[in-house]
Structure formats: structure tokens, C-alpha cells
């Protein structure tokens, strides 16, 4: 498949000094932080502030540096935040971990990935203020690290789509309940990939992609159909079609931005949805003994201000952030904020063609106030 936009391209940040910083987790995975530093910084801008960007499940740091529109890294650079870092943790499609049947949970990420990333980041930036912008299950897992005490000293957090109270549509609940078992034991597929249409004809992967596309007549892009099948409930589920540039809404580009997904993560999400809050997957797991069974138990004690973002057409995590803001406001009145984005869905607040006008200014305002 010809890629009109090269995979893992840095064309979207040509005016930045880019450096890659590998690090390892305590459970033995190699991860990376990528630093995007505006030339001349800190001579201009805000030298005391660092912004860390955290992707969601199946995506990667690439969602923040897309060349087809004014991306979040360039927007922050242009707005005075000249030192921006992006984390690729174990959910990133830049690594093979999502297709290796490792049966990771979000507890693993909370305990191992984010603390290791912050240690590596602070090794380079010292005591400067660190702000975090996190998306999807990157946001959920970062909340888990923060509210368990595994990380601290965060100046502010912007959480897109979901936080500590995951909620989904009824059809998505059914998929969460039955999907992992049916896929692993019924089809022998331990992961899902938007690229399944490109598999050899009449293989299980190709047949599944063709079957999914039968139920998605809204467009002709197989990766778009598979992503709706993998996440949420809608036609499409992940975003509003009109919010993406034509160069983004093509099969190979969508599959590059949001890749394969280990179905075991769905089991943890299902448990959280059933509980109505973020909870530990297995309270008896000794490796996670330091983590709380209920991550909301000490919500009032976390003094990091949080901006909860959500599109008003969020067909993946519905009104999760609206509910989370209500819960958090009761725990810590006046500390946290909510911004509902008209005409946006789940991921388009960060990858949409007009996000630099409709969404990023809200993020910037929040960062500047903290």
C-alpha cells in the first residue's frame, strides 16, 4: 500500500530540534520519549514549563506531529511552549507489544510506564514545571499513576475523552463483554488491526474486515470501519468525518495513526465500565500491591488541576469526562474544569483539521493559567 504521508514522518515538526530518549520499565520493556525543542528555546517562550503529550491505545506520538494540518506540537511551540515531549509507552503502535499476546493491563502502565517516563523526563528537565496532555486510555492510565501516587509533581493535566469514570454505549458494552473471548477462542485472533483488509484474501483477518465493512456504508475506507468496530459505537465511532482532512481519512493513513490492539485491554476496560470508575484489574495480583483497588479513593488529595475535554459527539467514551468532572468537583470543588467541544467526537479534538482553532486554544489557556 502506497503511503501518501510517510509512516512515522517528522515533516510536521521541521522547525524543531528532535531528539529521542529511550528508557526501560521495571518489568522489562523498552519505551521512548521524543523531545521537540523549538530552535532558540529557552531564549524565547516560557523556559520554566515543559509539556508532555501522551497518546491512547493503538495510536502513538505521531498523532501530535501530523504534517497535514497545524499539529499540537507546532501550536504549542508557536504559543511560547518551546519544550514539548511525546511519550510512546507500551500501547504505542511504534512498538510490537500490542500484537505479542502479553496480556497487559492498565495497571501495568500505571505502575511501570508513566513513572519510568517521568523519571527519564526529569533527568533532562530537572525541577521545571511539567504539564501533561493525555488522550483516551493514555489519559486513564496517567490518571491511575497520578491518583495512586506513582507519579507526582504534575503542574496540570489535560484529559481528552475519558478520565476516571469510563462510560460507553450499550453496543460497546456488549463488544467489551463478548469480544475478547470470541476473538481469542473463536477466531484465534488475539489482537485487532485496522489493516486486516490488506491480509491475503479469505484469511480470517481479511474475512473479518470484509464482514465489518458490510455494516459501515458511511465511507469506503476499511481502516475507518475497523476502528469503529474496535472502539465505541457509531458510523464512524472515533471521530466526525468532516473534522478530518481528506489526506487523513484514507485507509493507510488511518491505520498508521491508530494501529493494532491487544484484546486483553478490553477486559480491563470492561471491568471499569461495570464499576463506573477506574479500578484495579486483579486486586490479588502481587505485582500491583502498591496500587489502590479503587483509584478514586483519594481523589481529594491530588492537587493537580485537570481540564476535562470531550466532544459532544463522543461515540467511544460518551459522557465520561462530563461525569468525571462532576465526581471530581465534589471531591475537590473548584480545582478542575470541563470543556465540551461542539461538533467533535473522540479523537478528532487532537487530530482534526481545525483543532488548532477549535480545541488547542482551550488547552493553551489552561496551561498558561497553571
Q: 215 is written with which cell numbers? A: 455494516
DSSP 101-169: T----HHHIIIIIHHHHHHHHHHHHTTSEEEEEEEHHHHHHHHHHHHHTSS--EEEEEEES-SSS----
Instruction: Say how far apart CA 39 and CA 16 lie, in whole Å.
Output: 6
Judge if the upstream peptide bond of residue 42 is cis by omega within 30 degrees of 0.
yes
Stated as kind and residue range, the H or E segment containing 44 is none
Instruction: Say how far apart CA 139 and CA 128 lie, in whole Å.
Output: 22
pTM of the model: 0.97
Strand extents, DSSP E, 241-336: 261-262, 306-311
Instruction: Say how far apart CA 58 and CA 256 lie, in whole Å.
Output: 9
Instruction: Say how far apart CA 307 and CA 320 lie, in whole Å.
Output: 13
Residue 45 has pLDDT above 50, yes or no: no
Residue 17 has pLDDT above 90, yes or no: yes
Q: Confidence class of residue 2 from pLDDT cuts 50, 70 and 90?
A: low
Q: 268-289, pLDDT tens digit by residue?
A: 999 999 999 999 999 999 999 9
β-pairing, 30-38 with 83-88?
antiparallel
| Among candidate residues 80, 92, 136, 96, the one with its CA nearest the CA of residue 117 | 92
Instruction: Say how far apart CA 349 and CA 57 lie, in whole Å.
Output: 16
Q: 151-204, pLDDT tens digit by residue?
A: 999 999 999 999 999 999 999 999 999 999 999 999 999 999 999 999 999 999
Instruction: Say how far apart CA 159 and CA 59 lie, in whole Å.
Output: 16
Amino acid at each position: 500500500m502506497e503511503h501518501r504521508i510517510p509512516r512515522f514522518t517528522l515533516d510536521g515538526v521541521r522547525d524543531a530540534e528532535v531528539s529521542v530518549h529511550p528508557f526501560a520499565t521495571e518489568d522489562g520493556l523498552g519505551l521512548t520519549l521524543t523531545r521537540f525543542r523549538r530552535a532558540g528555546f529557552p531564549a524565547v517562550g516560557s523556559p520554566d514549563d515543559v509539556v508532555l503529550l501522551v497518546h491512547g491505545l493503538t495510536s502513538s506520538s505521531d498523532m501530535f506531529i501530523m504534517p497535514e494540518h497545524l499539529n499540537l506540537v507546532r501550536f504549542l511551540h508557536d504559543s511560547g511552549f518551546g519544550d514539548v515531549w511525546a511519550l510512546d509507552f507500551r500501547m504505542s503502535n511504534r512498538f510490537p507489544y500490542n500484537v505479542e499476546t502479553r496480556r497487559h493491563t492498565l495497571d501495568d502502565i500505571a505502575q511501570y510506564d508513566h513513572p519510568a517516563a517521568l523519571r527519564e523526563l526529569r533527568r533532562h528537565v530537572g525541577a521545571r514545571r511539567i504539564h501533561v496532555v493525555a488522550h483516551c486510555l493514555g489519559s486513564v492510565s496517567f490518571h491511575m499513576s497520578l491518583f495512586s501516587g506513582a507519579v507526582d509533581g504534575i503542574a496540570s493535566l489535560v484529559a481528552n475523552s475519558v478520565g476516571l469514570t469510563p462510560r460507553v454505549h450499550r453496543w460497546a458494552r456488549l463488544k467489551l463483554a463478548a469480544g475478547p473471548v470470541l476473538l481469542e477462542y473463536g477466531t484465534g485472533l488475539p489482537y485487532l488491526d485496522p489493516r486486516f483488509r490488506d491480509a491475503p484474501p479469505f484469511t480470517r483477518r481479511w474475512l473479518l474486515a470484509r464482514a465489518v465493512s458490510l455494516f459501515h456504508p458511511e465511507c469506503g475506507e476499511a481502516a475507518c470501519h475497523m476502528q469503529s468496530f474496535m472502539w465505541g459505537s457509531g458510523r464512524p465511532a472515533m471521530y466526525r468525518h468532516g473534522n478530518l482532512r481528506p489526506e487523513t481519512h484514507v485507509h493507510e493513513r488511518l491505520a498508521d495513526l491508530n494501529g493494532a490492539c491487544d484484546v486483553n485491554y478490553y477486559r480491563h476496560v470492561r471491568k471499569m465500565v461495570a464499576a463506573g470508575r477506574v479500578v484495579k484489574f486483579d486486586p490479588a495480583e502481587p505485582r500491583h500491591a502498591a496500587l489502590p483497588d479503587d483509584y478514586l479513593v483519594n481523589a481529594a488529595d491530588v492537587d493537580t488541576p485537570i481540564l476535562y475535554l470531550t466532544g459532544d459527539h463522543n461515540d467511544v467514551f460518551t459522557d465520561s469526562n462530563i461525569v468525571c468532572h462532576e465526581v471530581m468537583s465534589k471531591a475537590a470543588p473548584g480545582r478542575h474544569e470541563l470543556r465540551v467541544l461542539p461538533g467533535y467526537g473522540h479523537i478528532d479534538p487532537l487530530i482534526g483539521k481545525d483543532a488548532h482553532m477549535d480545541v488547542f486554544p482551550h488547552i493553551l489557556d489552561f496551561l498558561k493559567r497553571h
